[in-house]
Amino acid sequence: MNSHRPRWISPSRLAIHGTLLVACAVYLIPLLVMLLTSFKSPDDIRTGNLLSWPEVVTGIGWFKAWDSVGGYFWNSVKITVPAVLASTLIGALNGYVLSMWRFRGSQLFFGLLLFGCFLPFQTVLLPASFTLGKLGLASTTTGLVLVHIVYGLAFTTLFFRNYYCSVPQALVQAARLDGAGFFTIFGRILLPMSLPIIMVCLIWQFTQIWNDFLFGVVFASGDAQPITVALNNLVNTSTGVKEYNVDMAAAMIAGLPTLLVYVVAGKYFLRGLTAGAVKG
């Protein structure tokens, strides 16, 4: 009888699934508290407990939160979208050159570029501030876009270079013999087969840039600040009765884009990393 017992009820499987369920609950409970609180009224927050369902479901907290951080939300969009696209495209070109068109000193160049992956944010604050000041881009969204492009190039170049090293050299050599030039090979041969690593770079850069706080608070001010800085200001400058529903709704607004990106494209991120690891 025991030999025919279904595998799904074995003690080991029950222990594994039980552990995973506990881990998921621990991870998701804070998100559930934020979501429930964002739909509560101030009176409901004061009298209820954290996990209680709202006595009256109201979206007033969301409307107030959007009035406070909505403009900064669009600032983050204006910063993130061009920075992600530019850093991914330039990283693809860099990886292409470093893997297919090697030149004297290319390995040293790649080593120095790779060093940028290990630089803490704090070490580039002063040089970046000086550069933005000289360019007249201090305290602007354009300046933040430039900072994120430059800082992200080390990562995107590393991703693409390792991915392109797995492409057979014979494919590129054959294209050269047929008269294909630098950009023809890149645009017509390599880019169409780069979707997995492109998705990795897009998701990686989007997450890093959207969630950034340090660069936003240092290099932007006033109406040019991203939503992460606006959220911090909203939470820390509230006066009178604390409106936790507004704070939680604003936090949800700030976190929804990255959450949606991973829900929609998370499988491509994992697939791209795996493809690069196997081929590289």
* Long-range residue pairs from 177-186, CB within 8 A, at least 24 positions apart, any chain: 182/101, 185/100, 186/92, 186/93, 186/96
pLDDT of residue 278: 45
**Residues 80-92 pLDDT 10s:** 999 999 999 999 9
* Architecture of the domain spanning 61-279: Orthogonal Bundle (1.10)
Give the span between the Cα atoms of 218 and 237, in whole angstroms.
18
Residue type, 194: S
Backbone phi and psi for residue 33, each to the nearest 5 degrees, phi listed first: -60, -45
Residues near 47 by Cβ (< 8 Å), separated by ≥ 6? Answer: none
Residues in the chain: 280
List the end-to-end C-alpha distance of the chain, in Å, as a whole number.
48
Distance CA 164, CA 157 (A): 10
Give φ, ψ of 201 to 5 degrees: -65, -40
Summary count for the chain: helices (H), strands (E): 12, 0
**Given the structure tokens 């606006």, which residue do they identify?**
230
Residues 6 or more apart in contact with residue 198 via CB below 8 angstroms: 88, 92, 272
Is residue 238 within 8 Å of residue 247, measured between CB atoms? yes
Average pLDDT over residues 208-224: 89
Q: Mean pLDDT, the chain, as a whole number?
A: 84
175/72: higher pLDDT: 72
Helix (H, G, I), strand (E, B) or coil at 49: coil
- Rounded Cα distance, 51 and 37, in Å: 8
Write out pLDDT tens, residues 237-267. 766 667 888 889 999 999 999 988 888 877 7
Average of per-residue pLDDT across 7-28: 81
Question: How many alpha carbons fall within 13 Å on the CB side of residue 69?
Answer: 26
Q: pLDDT per residue over 114-167, tens digit each?
A: 787 787 878 888 888 888 888 888 888 999 999 999 989 989 998 898 888 887
| Residue 280 pLDDT | 42
Phi/psi of residue 48, nearest 5 degrees: -95, 180
pLDDT at 5 over 60: no
Residues contacting 184, CB < 8 A, separation 6+:
175
- Asked which of 43-57, 63-77, 237-251, 266-280 is least confident by mean pLDDT, the reply is 266-280
Q: What is the pLDDT of residues 170-213, one digit of tens each?
A: 787 888 887 777 788 888 888 888 888 898 899 999 999 999 99
